Amino acid sequence: MLHTDIAAALPEAIEWRRTLHRCPQPAWLELFATAFIAEKLTAWGYEIKMGRDIIAGQQLLPPSADELARARAQALAAGASEQFLAPAAGGHTGVVAILKGDQPGPTVGFRFDIDANETAESADPGHRPAREGFASQNPGAAHMCGHDAHAAIGLLLAKHLAARRAALRGTVKLIFQPNEENLGGAAALVASGIIDDLDYLFGGHIGLALTEIGHICLNIHDFMALSRFEITYTGRPSHAALRPDQGHNALLGSCAAIANLYAIARHGLGASRINVGYHQAGTTWNVIPDKAYFRMETRGVSNEINAYMVEKAHEIIRGAAQMYGLGLDIKPAAVAVVAESTPDLVALGEKIAAGLPSIKKIVPSAAFNASEDFTILMQHVQSRGGRALAALFGTPVGGGHHNAAFDIDEQVIANAAEFYAAMLDAIQGDRP
Amino acid sequence: MLHTDIAAALPEAIEWRRTLHRCPQPAWLELFATAFIAEKLTAWGYEIKMGRDIIAGQQLLPPSADELARARAQALAAGASEQFLAPAAGGHTGVVAILKGDQPGPTVGFRFDIDANETAESADPGHRPAREGFASQNPGAAHMCGHDAHAAIGLLLAKHLAARRAALRGTVKLIFQPNEENLGGAAALVASGIIDDLDYLFGGHIGLALTEIGHICLNIHDFMALSRFEITYTGRPSHAALRPDQGHNALLGSCAAIANLYAIARHGLGASRINVGYHQAGTTWNVIPDKAYFRMETRGVSNEINAYMVEKAHEIIRGAAQMYGLGLDIKPAAVAVVAESTPDLVALGEKIAAGLPSIKKIVPSAAFNASEDFTILMQHVQSRGGRALAALFGTPVGGGHHNAAFDIDEQVIANAAEFYAAMLDAIQGDRP
Amino acid sequence: MLHTDIAAALPEAIEWRRTLHRCPQPAWLELFATAFIAEKLTAWGYEIKMGRDIIAGQQLLPPSADELARARAQALAAGASEQFLAPAAGGHTGVVAILKGDQPGPTVGFRFDIDANETAESADPGHRPAREGFASQNPGAAHMCGHDAHAAIGLLLAKHLAARRAALRGTVKLIFQPNEENLGGAAALVASGIIDDLDYLFGGHIGLALTEIGHICLNIHDFMALSRFEITYTGRPSHAALRPDQGHNALLGSCAAIANLYAIARHGLGASRINVGYHQAGTTWNVIPDKAYFRMETRGVSNEINAYMVEKAHEIIRGAAQMYGLGLDIKPAAVAVVAESTPDLVALGEKIAAGLPSIKKIVPSAAFNASEDFTILMQHVQSRGGRALAALFGTPVGGGHHNAAFDIDEQVIANAAEFYAAMLDAIQGDRP
Amino acid sequence: MLHTDIAAALPEAIEWRRTLHRCPQPAWLELFATAFIAEKLTAWGYEIKMGRDIIAGQQLLPPSADELARARAQALAAGASEQFLAPAAGGHTGVVAILKGDQPGPTVGFRFDIDANETAESADPGHRPAREGFASQNPGAAHMCGHDAHAAIGLLLAKHLAARRAALRGTVKLIFQPNEENLGGAAALVASGIIDDLDYLFGGHIGLALTEIGHICLNIHDFMALSRFEITYTGRPSHAALRPDQGHNALLGSCAAIANLYAIARHGLGASRINVGYHQAGTTWNVIPDKAYFRMETRGVSNEINAYMVEKAHEIIRGAAQMYGLGLDIKPAAVAVVAESTPDLVALGEKIAAGLPSIKKIVPSAAFNASEDFTILMQHVQSRGGRALAALFGTPVGGGHHNAAFDIDEQVIANAAEFYAAMLDAIQGDRP
C-alpha cells in the first residue's frame, strides 16, 4: 500500500534537514544532531538508547576534550536540550530508537548516518544553502555528503511509524549512527550488541552513482574493505653533532616503513590500496628525531586482500622499529569491510520499488568504489542469520560529494522513506 | 695598564644584564635588547647603525609578522623606547656602535651576541634568577646561554671607552649581533659591509669548556662548519583509493631523500654530520600527500668537508624530486664555518692575559665541538687581511648551557671587559 | 570439408615433434629447429625467408658468441644441415615459409613459436619423454611449454597445404617464430615487415587453461602488457676505509631505485605488476661498488597501464642515478601488449570448430593471466586493417607448463592443424 | 752486537723471496709457501706445528674444494713436497716453528704473514719481477703487498737463530701466518692456543708509509678495528605476474637493509666506516627473488666504535628480515682490532734501532689508516700480560701496495731480520 502521509510530511522533513545542515558536526562530535533526534523520537514515543549503551568497545580516533567542549557550545547555541546532550557528552554520540509493535514479528533495523564533513561550505550565492540561509554556521564543518538528509529520512520514517504503531508487527530499530566519515561508528555499534537481534537491516546513501530523482539501486558492488591505523615510533633524542650515535632515530624508522609499505606486493587476486596520508616527526634542526607519527590506510576488493595488506603492513612497521631500536604503538583508527546485500532481499526490494510511483528507474547495479562502514553492520547481521540490504537513492548533486558546493534535491528524502516503509510492509505482511 | 673603572662599574653592568635577562627574545626578535643597547650607546656618544644598515642580504629564517608583533609588545612593556625600536621593527635587530678616536689607528671590532633561547626558564627557588626576581618574563624564551652577559660585557666596555675617547687611536666598532642561536646574524652582518674595514676582530663566549672564574682560553679548536636548509617538495594530490596513479607522492619523495641523506658516505679526511631534525607531510588518510617539508643540517670539521656534505645532500634531494615528479624548493636557513684565531693575536692575547690580575689561568686550548657563527665574521676579517681572536671566559654555570636552570657568576662580565680593554691598549700602544 | 589427410599424418608429425623435443634450444639459439623446419619446407616447395630477412631491428637480449657456438654444435650433432643453419648463424633464428596459390585471395598467416625453456627435463621413468627415449639431450634446456608441438602443428599444416596447393587461393605464410619465452621474437618479425601484408593471422597455444583433448577456446582475455629492461648503473669505485667520500656508490643507487620501483602507485583503473627479478652489484668487501645491474619488468592489464608503469619506473631509475651521480644505461629486453581477437573471426572460428568432429567443447572464454608476444603480431595486423585470432587447444599436461615433468597428449597436434585448415577453407571459400 | 751473518745471507734470502713470488697463493690456499717454509725449518732443526694444531675454531671464509685442488696442483708444480703439503691440505695453511734454547728465558714470537693477493701481476718489462723472470706464474694471484718478503725475513731470521741456538735463552716461536689479506689468519692462530705462552710478540710490515730504505717506525697509530659478515636472506619465490602476493621478496629485504646500513649514525667519538662491497639477488625476470646475499664490513678507530657499528648493523639486518618475513644467516668473515705497541717495548726498540748501522732514520710515528689482523695477536698477548711491538720497515715501492706493478728494494729483508735479531738480544741480554 502507499503511505501518502510520508509525501505529505516532506516539507516538515525538509525543515529538519535544514536545521541539521546549519549545525554540522563531524565524527564523534554530532552533539546537536544527537540531541535533536533524541528529543523528537522521545516525543514520538520511541524508547531511546544513547551513549555507552550503543557506542562500546575501543572508540576509534576519539575526540579531544577541547573538541567536545567546542561541539557542546555549538549544540547549545543551536538550541540543543541539556537533557539529551548529557548521554553523548563524552563523544558517545548517536541514537538508537526502538518501537515495539503489539504483535509478534521480526526485528527490523534501519540505519541513518548523521555526521558532517570536516570542510568549509561554499558561501557563493549560487549555492542554495547559502542563498536560502541554511548554510553551515560551524566553521570548518559542513554536511557535504548528505548525511543531514539521511537523518531526515530516518525522522520522516520514524514519525510515520509512530503514527501507525498499532499496525506494527515485531520491533523496529532506527539506528542514527555517528561517525561514518571516519569509519568508526559501525564498529562501536556492533560492539554494543545493539544490533545483535536484527532479522533485517536496511541502509542507504543518496546520490553517488545515481544522479536522478526517482532512480534506485539495490545491487551495490565494489565496496572496498579498509583498515586505518595511527602509527607512533618512539626513539631516543640526541644532539646531532655531539653524539649522533646515542640517538634512536624515529624518523629514519618511519621513512624505512613508509617506503616499504607502498612496496607491498600487489595481490594476484584483485585490487589493493595503501596510503600514508599524514606524517610528522622530530622537533628541531640539531636533535635526532625521537618521535614519528603517521596515518596509514589499506584497502582491498575483498576482506582477504585487505587482511593481506594489513598483515604485510604490520610486519614492515614492526621490522622498521627493530631496525632502529624504536618503541612502537599501532592504534586502529577505522575499519570497513566488503559486504553484499542478501540476494532474496534484493529481489524483494526490486519488486517493491517497481510498485512505488516515486521510483522511476531501478538501476540494475552500481559500483561503490570506496569504503562505507554500513558494510560492518551488514556483515554482522548476515553472520547471525539475518538479511541486509544496501540501497542507493538517486538525486542530482551540486558540486559533487565532499565538495564545498554539494547540494541535493530534497525530494529524495520522501522517496527513501517511502521505500523503507514499503519494505517494512512487505516483510511484515501489509499493514493496514 | 689596569682599567680599574671597569671593575668598579660591575654592579651597574650586572643591573643591565639582569634587565636584559628579564626580557629575553630569540633570534630576529631581540627588539628590547636592541632598543636598550641603542639608547644607552647613543647617550654615551656613539654613532649608531641599525636595521637594514647592518642586516643585509637574504635574511635566514625570518620572523613572522605575528612573532614580531608579540616581540614588540614585550619590548614596550619592558620599557623600550619607540624611537630605538623603529629601525629594527621588521626583525632587523642588533646594533653596531662606532667610536672614532681623534688620532689615527686601526679599526677594531668587538662582537657580542644578544639573542635568547626558545626555552622556558626554571621557576625553582634554587635557581637564582627566580629567587632574586630577574627571571624571564617572556613565556618560552630565556637567556640560557649567557648572551645577556655578553651584551653586558659590550655595554661595560662601551661605557669605559666612551669615558676615555680622547685617548682612542683609530676606530672601535662594538657589534651587538642578533641571532647567533639560529646562526643567521653573522652572515647578515657580513652582507651589510659593516665589518669590511676591521683590522682586528674580537669575540668571546662565557662558560662552555671553562667552568672557573678567572680562566681564559684563546686557542679554540674544533668549530664545526654547518649548513642548514629548509626543503619543500610539492607533488600532486589524488584520492588514494580511486586514482592513486594520478598522485605525485611528496612523502615518498622525502622518505627517499631522508633515508639516502643519512647514507651519504663518511668523509675519509675527517668528521661530518647530517641530520633531518623535523619533517612534516600530507594532510589526511585517503589523499596522496602532495606536500612534504623538512629541516636538515650538515656539518664538517672543515669547510671542505661540510661543502662535500651539502653537495651530496643536494644531489640526493634533487634526485628524489625527479623520482616522483616533484617540485622542489631548497631554502638556506643557517650557516657557520670553521675558523681559527690568528696565531700572533693568540700569542699577544696570552701575554696580555698573563698580566691581568683577574686572570688566574690561561687554558692552552679547548674544543668547541659545535657551531658558532662568529666564525663567519672571523673568516671575513681574515680573508681581507685582518686579524681575529675568539676567546672563552671561564665561569661556573648552573645547569649547563641551554638548560632551564642555566646560571653564571656575574664576575665574568668584568673579567671579559677588562681583557678586551687591555687588548685594545696593546694594539694601539698603551693609552694613557 | 574434413581434411582426413591431417589425422592420417599424425604419426609422422609426432616423430617431428619428438625429434625437436630431443634437441631443445632456448631463445635466439633455436638453430636445430630452424634448420629442421627450413629443410622440410624447402623440400615441400615453400619459399623460405630466414635470418635478417625476418629478424630485424634491435635484437632484444641477443645471444653471446659462446652460446651460439654451443647451440651450433648441438644442432650439428642432432643432424642439422649446414646449408639451413647458415642464415641463422648469428642468432637470427626462425623461418617464414610462403606458399602462393594460383588463384587470387587473401594473405593468411599462421604463427608457431619454436623455442625451448632454460630448464632441465625430468629423467624420471614416469615422465614419458624419458621413458620413451625422446627427452632433452641438451643440458639445461627442455621443451616444457609445448613449443615443439606448436612447430609440429605448423609442419603438419604445411605438408597438408603443400599437397593441395592447386586449390589455394591467395597466399599462406607459415611463421615459425623464435624467442617467445623471452618475448623478443614477435617484435623482430614486425620490424622486418614480413607480416605487413597479412589479411588474417592465426596463432594458438596448447594446454594452459584447457586441460582436455578436444576443447578449444577462441575468446582469450587477460593478456598482460609487459615491458622488460636491463638497467646498469655506473659509479666510481673507491677504497671504503680510506676515501669513501670519493666513491659514487652504484649499489646505493640501485637499492634506492628498487625500493621505490615496487612503491609505484597502484593504478586506479586496473591491475599492474612490477618485479626486479635479478640484481648484481659490486666486487669485493672494501671497495665502494661502482657497478650495479638489474633486470626489471612491468605489466598492466591494458597497454596504457603498462605504459604508466614504464614511465614511472624510468623516472625513478633516473632519479636514483642523479641521487648518486651515476651513469645509467636502460636497455629494452622484452615487450608484449594486450590484444584481443577480432570479434567476427571469433564468431567464425566458433562456428567452424562446432563442425569439426575432433572438437568436443567450445570453451566460451579463458583468462591468459600472463604475457605472450603473439599479441604484438595481432596488434600489428589489426592496426593495418587485418583480422587476428588467438586460440587455445586443449590437452592434459603432465606436471604443468615450465615444469620439468611437462608432458602432453600428442593428439592435440592433429586437432590444431585441422582447425587451422578448416579456417583457411572458410576464409577462402571451401577448397575442393 | 751486530749479526753480520744476516747481511751476508741476504742473497740467499732474496732467492727464497723470489721463489715464493713465483708461486703466489691467496688466503687459506698458501700451500706452496707453507710446504716450502716447513721443509726449510725442519731441515734447520725447528720443531714444526701445522694444520689444525695452529688453525683452530671456525675458519672464516674457508676455501672451496675446487680452489684447494687448484692450489695443490700449483704447489706441486712449483716443487712442493707432498710430506709438507699434507698437514695443510684442507686449507689449514701456515707454519709455527719453535726453537727452544738450552737456557731459561722468555718466550718470544715473531710473526710473518705469507699470503698473496687476488690480482694479476704486471707483465710490463719495466716491472722487475717480469723482467728478471720471477713474476707470478699463478693466474689471478700475485705478491703485491710484500708478504713474500715478510716470509723471507722470517726464513733469514730462522736460519740465523738456528746457527746460534746454543746462545738462545728461552724459546723462539716463528709464526708464518696465513690469510692476513682477508683478516682470517690471526683469529685462527689465537683460537689454537699457539701464542698463549708468548712473553713478547714482534711483527712488521715493509713499505706502506715508509718509502725509504733504512727508515723504521715503531709507533704505528690509526689501525682500524674491522668486522666483516656474509649476509644471506632467504624468502619465498613466486610468479611475479600471477601471485606476487605469495612471494617473500629477499631483494626488497636486502635493499632495505643496505640503504639503512649506510645510514647508521656517525659516532660522536671518532671515525667509523661501513660498506657493502658485493650484492647478488634473484634469478630471472618474472620470479620474486627468494635469495639475496651480500658482503659487508664495518670499521672504527676504536674497538668500541666498531662494536657500535656491528651492533647497529645487525639490528638493521634483522629488522629488514622481519619486514619481509625472510630467513636470515649472518656469517662472520673477518675481524681486526685496534691495538697499540707496548710503550716500553717501543722505547727499547727505538734505542736498539738507533744502534744499528742499517737504520738511517727512526720515524717517530706513522698512521696505518687501515686494518691488519696482527692487532688481534697483539691484543691477545697483551691481554695475558705480554708485550707486543708492530714495526714498519722502509722500502721504496713500485706501483704501490696491491697494485699490479708493486715492487720493493730487497735490502729491506736484511734490515728487518737484523732488527729482530737485535731485539731478541736485547730482551735476552746480549747473546755471545
- Domain extent at residue A343: 4-222+338-428
Which parts of A152-224 are beta strand (E)? Answer: 169-177, 200-206, 215-217, 220-223
Q: What is the pLDDT of residue C167?
A: 86
Q: Work out how many domains chain D is built from and give that number.
A: 2
Residue B158's identity, in one-letter code, is A
Whether residue A268 lies within 8 A of chain D, CB to CB, comes out as yes
Q: How many CB atoms lie within 10 A of CB B82?
A: 11
Q: Do D370 and C285 touch (CB under 8 A)?
A: no
* Intra-chain end-to-end CA distance of chain A, in Å: 8
Instruction: Name which of A263, A271, A272 is nearest C263 (Cβ-Cβ).
Output: A263
Instruction: Name which of A260, A265, A266 is nearest C259 (Cβ-Cβ).
Output: A260
Q: What is the pLDDT of residue C430?
A: 58
Mark whether C366 and C407 lie in a shared domain. Answer: yes
Q: What is the pLDDT of residue D242?
A: 87
Instruction: Count A/B contacts: CB-CB distance under 8 Å.
Output: 130
Q: Do D272 and B266 touch (CB under 8 A)?
A: yes
Mark whether A90 and A239 lie in a shared domain. Answer: no
Q: Do B315 and C322 touch (CB under 8 A)?
A: yes
Q: Do B240 and A273 touch (CB under 8 A)?
A: yes
Average pLDDT (A223-237) is: 96
H/E element, D239:
none
Q: Do C260 and A259 touch (CB under 8 A)?
A: yes
Residue B337's identity, in one-letter code, is V
Substitution target from C224, C258, C260, C262 for chain A, most A beta carbons within 10 A: C262
Task: List the single residue in A with minimal CA-CA distance to D248.
Answer: A265
Whether residue C277 lies within 8 A of chain A, CB to CB, comes out as no
Q: Confidence band (pLDDT; 50, 70, 90) for A33?
A: very high
Q: Do D285 and C295 touch (CB under 8 A)?
A: yes
From A279, A305, A335, the end of a domain falls on A335
Q: Do C297 and D281 touch (CB under 8 A)?
A: no
* Cell output for C307: 605504459
Mark whether D115 and D236 lie in a shared domain. Answer: no
Q: How many CB atoms lie within 10 A of CB A127?
A: 18
Mark whether D19 and D148 lie in a shared domain. Answer: yes
Q: What is the pLDDT of residue C4?
A: 84
pLDDT tens for residues B239-286?
A: 999 899 999 999 999 999 999 999 999 999 999 999 999 999 999 999
In whole angstroms, give the CA distance from residue D94 to residue D114.
8
Q: What is the pLDDT of residue B4?
A: 84
* Cell output for B432: 694613557
Whether residue C302 lies within 8 A of chain B, CB to CB, comes out as no
Q: What is the pLDDT of residue B1?
A: 57
Q: Do D278 and C283 touch (CB under 8 A)?
A: yes
Q: In the 8-state DSSP scheme, what is residue A86?
A: G
Mark whether A198 and A229 lie in a shared domain. Answer: no
Mark whether D95 and D30 lie in a shared domain. Answer: yes
Mark whether C159 and C241 lie in a shared domain. Answer: no
Q: Do A275 and B244 touch (CB under 8 A)?
A: yes
Q: What is the pLDDT of residue A327?
A: 98
In whole angstroms, give the CA distance from residue A235 to residue A240.
14
**Chain C environment of A274 (Cβ under 8 Å):** 266
Task: Give the 3-state secondary structure percentages of chain D, helix then strand then coil, rounded to 5.
Answer: 40, 25, 35
H/E element, C277:
strand C272-282
Whether residue C271 lies within 8 A of chain A, CB to CB, comes out as yes
Instruction: Name which of C277, C280, C370 is nearest D280 (Cβ-Cβ).
Output: C280
Mark whether B185 and B277 lie in a shared domain. Answer: no
**Chain A environment of B297 (Cβ under 8 Å):** 240, 285-286
Percent of chain A topping pLDDT 70: 99
Q: In the 8-state DSSP scheme, what is residue D62?
A: P
In whole angstroms, give the CA distance from residue D307 to residue A219.
63
Instruction: Name which of B260, B272, B273 is nearest D259 (Cβ-Cβ).
Output: B260
- Checking DSSP bridges between strand C407-408 and strand C291-300, what pairing results, if any? unpaired
Q: Do A319 and D315 touch (CB under 8 A)?
A: no
Mark whether A207 and A66 lie in a shared domain. Answer: yes
Mark whether A31 and A69 lie in a shared domain. Answer: yes
Q: Residue holding cell 676606530?
A: B171
Mark whether C263 and C404 lie in a shared domain. Answer: no
Q: What is the pLDDT of residue C432?
A: 46
Instruction: Name which of D275, D286, D334 is nearest C240 (Cβ-Cβ).
Output: D275
Look over chain D and give the mean of its residue pLDDT values, rounded to a whole number. 95
A120 to chain B, minimum CA–CA distance in Å? 16
Backbone torsions φ then ψ of C214, nearest 5 degrees: 95, -10
From A335, A355, A371, the end of a domain falls on A335
The better pLDDT of the pair B68, A164 is held by B68
**Chain A environment of C259 (Cβ under 8 Å):** 259-260, 263
Instruction: Name which of C275, C284, C333 is nearest D277 (Cβ-Cβ).
Output: C284
Whether residue C286 lies within 8 A of chain B, CB to CB, comes out as no
Whether residue B259 lies within 8 A of chain D, CB to CB, comes out as yes
Q: In the 8-state DSSP scheme, what is residue A365?
A: -
Q: Do C268 and B247 touch (CB under 8 A)?
A: no
Whether residue A320 lies within 8 A of chain D, CB to CB, comes out as yes
DSSP letter for each residue of C304-365: HHHHHHHHHHHHHHHHHHHHHT-EEEEEEEEEE------HHHHHHHHHHHHT-TT--EEES-
Rounded to two decimals, the pTM is 0.91
**Chain C environment of D296 (Cβ under 8 Å):** 285
Q: What is the pLDDT of residue A432?
A: 46
Q: What is the ipTM of this complex?
A: 0.88
B205 to chain D, minimum CA–CA distance in Å? 23
Q: What is the pLDDT of residue D432?
A: 46
Substitution target from C287, C322, C326, C328 for chain B, most B beta carbons within 10 A: C322
Whether pLDDT at D430 is above 80? no
Task: List the single residue in A with minimal CA-CA distance to C271.
Answer: A271
From B292, B315, B335, the end of a domain falls on B335
**Chain A environment of B277 (Cβ under 8 Å):** 240, 282-289
Whether residue B83 lies within 8 A of chain A, CB to CB, comes out as no
| Three-point CA angle D231, D232, D234, nearest 5° | 155
Low-confidence ranges of chain B (pLDDT < 50): 432
Instruction: Name which of C259, C266, C274 is nearest A272 (Cβ-Cβ).
Output: C266
List the beta bridge partners of residue B117: B142
- Chain D: partners with 3+ C-beta pairs within 8 Å: A, B, C
Mark whether C12 and C123 lie in a shared domain. Answer: yes
Q: What is the pLDDT of residue B432?
A: 46
**Chain C environment of A222 (Cβ under 8 Å):** none
Average pLDDT (A162-170) is: 90
CATH number at residue B75: 3.40.630.10
Low-confidence ranges of chain C (pLDDT < 70): 1-2, 430-432
CATH number at residue D245: 3.30.70.360
In whole angstroms, give the CA distance from residue B332 to residue C62.
50
Q: Do C271 and A271 touch (CB under 8 A)?
A: yes
Task: List the single residue in A with minimal CA-CA distance to C370.
Answer: A268
- C-alpha A190: how far from its chain's center? 13
**Chain C environment of B268 (Cβ under 8 Å):** 241-246
Q: Do B259 and A255 touch (CB under 8 A)?
A: yes
